Structures are given as structure tokens and as C-alpha cells.
Chains A and B, each alone.
Chain A
Amino acid sequence: MTRVGRVRDRLRMDPPMVLLERSLLAAVTDEGHSRHAVACAVYARLVDEYVAQTVLLRAVSEHLPTLGRSHRGSVFAPVDPLHVARQHRRAVDLMLEGDDVDDPDLALTLVMLDRHSIRRVATLDERYTAFDLDLLPAPETAVEPAPTEP
């Protein structure tokens, strides 16, 4: 992290935000997903951190409704949405015109991460390893945890 970034982090009043990316949200809600257990373990840990006030949980607003309203009120109750505005879509369009990113959803998530200065991302999507982000679960240690008690 740059010196400016470190100073900015020290001055920040809010706990750091963690973005729950679409792939993780989907894996948490889909019991048939091959990495459902990993996603639930990561999310459960984040919920504990949320109660301990060491993180704020965020998700792109467009990723939450696709999972249905019931999830927003229950599983993802601690998660607040990051609302997508027209200026974010314009940035996405610009990104898609270039050669770096060709998936609109990935582009949108990257824009939201940049605009909200979020560095930690909970995701199961390997494409995020190409960017300078703190990923959860960490790519090197993303192994299946012991099954949790139902």
C-alpha cells in the first residue's frame, strides 16, 4: 500500500469495508454449490467480525436483489448495498471499450471497489487474483474447511 493510502487508512473513521462479490453470495445461498461450505465459513467469519465492529460488509446493490428479497432480510442482513449510479455505468462502458476487462459484471465490481476505496473482497472468482486486492478466502489457503454443525 502507498504512503498516502496508509495515512488515509489511519484517518478513516469507519472500519474497513469488505465487498461480498457475486460468486460468494451465490455460493452461500446455493447449498448445491461445490464450494458452499467454503463460502459459508468465510461469510460466518465475516459476520463475527461485523459484530466485533472490525469490518463493514458491503455488496453491489445489483448483486443482492438477484438472490431474492428473503436473503437480504436473513442471510445477508448484515450486508449493506453499494448503490450503482449512472456515473459507475459510464465508467464500466469506458472499461469495456479497452482491452483490460471484457466482462461487464467484473468491470462494475472493480469500479465499485475503486470508488468506495475497498481493498478486501470475499470472492470465489479467480479473476480477482489478477488485481491488487486482499482476497477472502486467500487464494493460497482456499481449502475446504471441516464440515460445520448444521
Chain B
Amino acid sequence: MPGSTESRRALRTVVPVEWLRPVRLVLMFGYLATYLWWLRFKGLPVDRISVAISVGLFLTCAFVGRSWRTWAVLLVDCLAYCLMWLPYEKTRGAADDGISVLGLFRIKFPVQVETMRHIDRALFFGHDPNVVLQEHFWERSVRWYDVVASSVYMTHFVLPIVVMAILWATSHRQWTRFMKRFATLLAIGCVMFVVLPTVPPWMGASVRYPQYRFFDVSILRDAGRGFRHIGFFGFTADYKVQLSNGNGVAAMPSLHASFALIVPAFFLPLIRRRWLKAVVLLFPATMLTSLVYLGEHWVIDGLVGWAITGGCFWFWGRMEQRTRTRRADRARQALGLSGEPDPSVGSDQTMVTA
């Protein structure tokens, strides 16, 4: 056969250069620089519309020079993405007012006022984790751990979106895998917001909500104070606007805890070193501790959120494996081979992909 190793030609010497590729890279770096500037001087975009505009701009930069077909796929993805958030906004707002069925009647489930507190107390031998943490650590002045807790808390509004945008731009296949898990998690969360409306710890101690108040001690609520302390003022203003539109009686499950786990869990199979895996998993643990310290959630909210996340990974992992096996079996049958794969193949398997 022609072509010795020395004489073989690299593809780039034969195939014309895709000249829009460097343009795309420059635009993406430009976007990143602008985003960081915006973050520092204007604040972190957190409301849905700002985030959508931000992601839209990033994707426009990342898809410059791609085929029309790719743009059409992106458009369909964007529509599906928007549709995914609609039930979340609806059910979060309907958590304590019930949900209207075709305008004919309302289904309203009883608000869980003290149930989660009882579970937490059972888990912690009669102590309230929120109260204990605030009593020991919350001070008038902002401490370093307030900055950590607050910053970790705020990542909820950007981390999954950043991951989605990067996956969108780099591997549509991985984006699909991530979104299947994310959308399932969100859907289960939405159902639980309606079926199990739950009062969060801060509300149980707030004089503004006497109907739900059961704590005889105060639980302070200012999740953004550590973030403000390091100079991110714009973010907090937007954040308050967003909170005023939401419904507080939607503590179970904690999507903060779930989102903090779904991102590391998704990338965990790519990490080979065990100690690094452990470090990565510290993030969801820090998130749950922060949520409890900041009075935003009960411990059980976070644990249930983690369990749902784990369930989504398990379910979709199995589904994807089944699809792979079914497709391979079809091919083997057509080739006249048995359905059993060669046992020598895949011993160096490192990926969990479909």
C-alpha cells in the first residue's frame, strides 16, 4: 500500500482552512472578557431574561460559521429549553395557592409547616441545624465563611447555565445527556413544589409570615451579604427583584442542592484521580451547609434534592445503555452474529456516555 508513515500528509495540508473558526474563537474570548467586565462592574445577571440574553449572545458567538442545519437544531433546543422552564415558574408561584386545572377548580395540597423541621431534628438528635449554625457562626460583621457561603449560594444562578452553554457549543451529544438529567430533575421538583409545598426555615421564624411562624428564635436571612461584601452590588439588587416574584413556600426539594450536585456528578466520570473527585464533591456539600447556615433550606430538602439527582443519573444511565445495546443488537443480528459482545473490548472504559 502506498503512504509510509513519513510520507503521509496531514489533513490540514490538503483540506482548506475553515476561516471562520478563528473569528469564532475571538468572538468567544471577547464575550468572556465582556462577561467578566459586566460581572465586576454591573453585577451578575441572574434574572431569567438577562440570563437568556447572555446565553443567547454566547451561543451566537460560538455558532458563527456553523451550518444552517446546526442553527436550526440550536433553535429547536432553545425552544425546548424555554418550555422546560415554564412549568418551573408556574409551579413555584403556585406552591402555596394551589394549581388551577383548566380554570375549573384548584388543587391545593396542605403546606408543610413543621414537618421538615421534625425530620431535621430527628436527623440531628433533637437539634435544629439552622439555629445551631447561625448561633455559632452568624455575626454582625461579615466573616470569610459568609463570603464562601454566599458565593457558593449564588453559583446556583450561573453554574448550570454556564455548563449548558459550554456543552451546547462544544458537544451537542453531551448537552443532550446533561439536559435529559436536568429537565427530569426540574420536572420532579415542579411536581413536588405543588404536592409538597414546604415552609423554609427563615419563613418559619419570620414575623412577616405569622401564619407559618413556629420558631421562637430568630433565623436571619441575607444570602447575598457575603457576595456584597466582596463588591458585587449589582447582583444583589437583581436578586431581590427576582425573589419578590417567586414563591417562598417551595423549599422541598432544594434545587440549589440538586443543581450543585448535577454539575460535578456529570463531569465526575471524566476525572480519574480519586482525591480530585472528592474535592469536586465538596462543592455540593458546601452548598448544602451554606443553605442550612443561611436559613434557606432544611437539611432534608437538600438530601431529597441529592436523591432525586442521583435517581435521574441512574435512570438516564440505564436508558442510554439500553439504547446503545438495542442499536448494537440490531447491527449484530443483521450481520448474523450473536448478541454477545467481545469480552476483550472495553476494558479501558472511562466514559459514561450514550
Give complex CA distance A130, B18 in Å: 22
Residues of A within 8 A of B11 (CB): 110, 113-114, 131-133
A142 to B, closest residue via Cβ: B1
Residues of A within 8 A of B325 (CB): 51
Q: Helix, strand, loop or mixed for chain A's interface? A: helix
Docked-complex contact B353 and A45, CB < 8 angstroms:
no
Docked-complex contact B352 and A50, CB < 8 angstroms:
no
From B1, B14, B170, B328, give the contact of A78 (CB < 8 A): B328
The contact string, 1 if C-beta is below 8 Å from chain B, for chain A 118-150, is 000000001001111100000100000000111
Docked-complex contact B8 and A48, CB < 8 angstroms:
no
The contact string, 1 if C-beta is below 8 Å from chain A, for chain B 1-12, is 111000111111
- The yes or no answer to B57 lying at the interface (CB within 8 A) is no
Instruction: List the count of A-B residue pairs having beta carbons below 8 Å apart.
Output: 145
Given contacts A51-B345, A101-B14, 5 further A-B pairs with CB under 8 A are A43-B331, A51-B324, A52-B349, A74-B333, A115-B15
- The yes or no answer to A100 lying at the interface (CB within 8 A) is yes
- Given the known interface contacts A14-B173, A53-B346, A77-B330, the answer about A111 and B15 at a Cβ–Cβ threshold of 8 Å is yes
Give complex CA distance A121, B171 in Å: 20
In chain B between 321 and 351, which residues have their CB closer than 8 angstroms to a CB of chain A?
A: 324-328, 330-338, 341-342, 345-346, 348-349, 351
Give complex CA distance A131, B15 in Å: 11
A130 to B, closest residue via Cβ: B3
- Given the known interface contacts A13-B171, A14-B174, A129-B2, the answer about A40 and B9 at a Cβ–Cβ threshold of 8 Å is no
In chain A between 35 and 88, which residues have their CB closer than 8 angstroms to a CB of chain B?
A: 40, 43-45, 47-54, 56, 71, 73-78, 83, 85-88
Q: Which bracket fits the contact residues of B? A: 35 or more
From A50, A74, A129, A150, give the contact of B8 (CB < 8 A): A129
Residues of B within 8 A of A101 (CB): 14
Give complex CA distance A83, B353 in Å: 21
From A48, A86, A114, give the contact of B12 (CB < 8 A): A114
- The yes or no answer to B103 lying at the interface (CB within 8 A) is no
The contact string, 1 if C-beta is below 8 Å from chain A, for chain B 173-189, is 11000000000000000
Residues of A within 8 A of B160 (CB): none
A39 to B: closest C-beta gap in Å: 10
In chain B between 138 and 187, which residues have their CB closer than 8 angstroms to a CB of chain A?
A: 167, 170-171, 173-174
Give complex CA distance A80, B299 in Å: 44
Docked-complex contact A87 and B170, CB < 8 angstroms:
no
Docked-complex contact A83 and B69, CB < 8 angstroms:
yes
Q: Helix, strand, loop or mixed for chain B's interface? A: loop
Residues of A within 8 A of B336 (CB): 148-150
Residues of A within 8 A of B327 (CB): 50, 77-78
Docked-complex contact A48 and B333, CB < 8 angstroms:
no
B353 to A, closest residue via Cβ: A53
Residues of B within 8 A of A48 (CB): 328, 341-342, 345-346
Give complex CA distance A77, B10 in Å: 31
- The yes or no answer to B237 lying at the interface (CB within 8 A) is no
Docked-complex contact A95 and B3, CB < 8 angstroms:
no
B255 to A: closest C-beta gap in Å: 24
- The yes or no answer to B68 lying at the interface (CB within 8 A) is yes
- The yes or no answer to B65 lying at the interface (CB within 8 A) is yes
- The yes or no answer to A94 lying at the interface (CB within 8 A) is yes
- The yes or no answer to A15 lying at the interface (CB within 8 A) is yes
Docked-complex contact A49 and B345, CB < 8 angstroms:
yes
Docked-complex contact B331 and A47, CB < 8 angstroms:
yes
- Given the known interface contacts A85-B68, A91-B16, the answer about A54 and B345 at a Cβ–Cβ threshold of 8 Å is yes
- The yes or no answer to B270 lying at the interface (CB within 8 A) is yes
Give complex CA distance A53, B347 in Å: 10
A77 to B: closest C-beta gap in Å: 4
A43 to B, closest residue via Cβ: B335
Most central of B10, B11, B67 by chain A CB within 10 Å:
B11
A-B contact pairs, 12 of them (CB 8 A): A13-B167, A14-B174, A15-B353, A49-B345, A49-B346, A51-B324, A52-B341, A91-B15, A94-B16, A115-B15, A132-B9, A139-B3
Give complex CA distance A91, B17 in Å: 8
Give complex CA distance A32, B324 in Å: 29
Docked-complex contact B171 and A14, CB < 8 angstroms:
yes
Most central of A100, A114, A115 by chain B CB within 10 Å:
A114
Residues of A within 8 A of B332 (CB): 44, 47
Docked-complex contact A15 and B346, CB < 8 angstroms:
no
A96 to B: closest C-beta gap in Å: 11
Q: Which 10 A-B pairs have the closest CB atoms?
A: A52-B346, A85-B67, A129-B3, A48-B345, A75-B334, A74-B334, A114-B15, A77-B330, A77-B327, A130-B3
